[in-house]
Amino acid sequence: MKRKRLRWLEIVLAGLVLTLVGILVNNLAVNLIRTELGLSFKWLWQPAGFALSEHTLPYQPGDSTAWALLVSWLNSLRVIACSIVLATVLGVGAGAARRSLNPLLRQLAGLYVGLIRQIPLLLQLLFWYFVAFLGLPSEPMAPVGTLVSLSNQGIAILGLNLSVEFSAVLVGLSVFTGAAIAEVVRGGLDSVPKGQWEAFRSLGIGETLGMRKVVLPQALPAILPALSSQYLNLAKNSTLAIAVGFADLYAVSDTAITQTGRAIEGFLILLLSFLALNLLINGGMQVLNRIVVRPAQRT
């Protein structure tokens, strides 16, 4: 009796959802016909007509829009990958510092996390771009010999040239995500029983070694899932690069949509490209999970 009623409820619900979707699609069709747009993906193969400020593969405005989107996707991937590395270093450092023996270091890390998390990322990105990097002198300055040269035209590290936009996005994303990762790491360290810390300290093992060999292997299973969700957040947040004029996936999709007027199609492609990015990060994290967690559990 009850199961039958549930079945009916489900059928009614399905009907409602289908009707809603039908209405929306119908509205869309009516609007597309009314504005004489229709759906078409031909524009992808036509010349893009806009320049990209930076590209890893050869690109000219005469190349197709699809190519421009691919190049911008690679730009996104580049900045995300670099930010993930930098944010992890920052975050693990700050997270470990919050549980260090040095009270000053603890306070400093706490200040960093507390401050960064209360200020919008977009504001931070604007700060890094307009104040920190565009505020550099136009003449290259080299604080440590020829290793690093800084100017508001670009940054060169060991012969590797980075644009100002790229650097601003990289630093902004890393500092912001680093604070979040620090919290994740701190939570993971807290999940390790206190006796473990006391045990390695009483054995005379140094802080760094004990952290690396005793605490971290036990904290990692708790840290990794939250870490991968922070990486996904970082990837999503990288779309804010449009605010500082970095030619990332979202910025170029936006330009393409404004130029062609193909909002629906452009949006679909944007979503699909993002799906690909997400899958990439997820896959990478799963591989990492398998490498790191398995041996730790085996011992």
The residues of the shown chain that bind another protein, judged by CB under 8 A, are 6, 9-10, 13-14, 17, 24, 27-28, 30-32, 34, 101-102, 104-105, 108, 115, 118-123, 126-127, 130-131, 135, 232, 236-237, 239-240, 242-243, 250, 254, 257, 263-264, 267, 270-271, 274-275, 278
CA 87/CA 174 separation, integer angstroms: 4
The distance of closest approach from Cβ of residue 118 to another protein in the complex, given in angstroms and rounded to an integer, is 4
Tell me whether residue 149 or residue 230 sits nearer to another protein (CB atom). 230
Residue 37 β-bridge partners: none
Beta-carbon neighbour count of residue 164 at 10 Å? Answer: 23
- Assign 151 to helix, strand or coil: strand
Based on CB atoms, which residue is closest to another protein, 12 or 57?
12
User: In the complex with another protein, which residue's Cβ is closer, 127 or 197?
Assistant: 127
Nearer residue to another protein within complex by CB, 117 or 161: 117
Distance CA 232, CA 237 (A): 9
Pairwise CA distance, residues 297 & 299, whole Å: 6
Q: How far is the CB of 160 from another protein (least distance, A)?
A: 27
Contacts of 145 (CB under 8 A, 6+ apart): none
Alpha helices, DSSP H, located in 59-157: 65-97, 103-117, 121-126
**Which residues make Cβ contacts (< 8 Å) with residue 111, sequence separation at least 6?**
none
With respect to another protein, which residue has the nearer C-beta, 275 or 287?
275
- What amino acid occupies position 298? R
We find the least distance from the C-beta atom of residue 65 to another protein, in angstroms, to be 18
Q: How far apart (Å, rounded) are the C-alpha atoms in residues 258 and 246?
A: 17
Nearer to another protein, 27 or 286 (CB): 27
Nearer to another protein, 57 or 263 (CB): 263
Q: Minimal distance in Å, beta carbon 85 to another protein?
A: 21
| Phi and psi torsions of 140, nearest 5° | -60, 130
Output the smallest distance, CB 227 to another protein, in A: 16
CB of 199 to another protein, least distance (A): 19
3-class DSSP state of 150:
strand
Q: Which of 178, 188, 193, 283 is nearest to 233 (CA)?
A: 178
Dihedral (Cα; 242, 245, 250, 256), 10-degree rounding? 130
Q: How far is the CB of 174 from another protein (least distance, A)?
A: 17
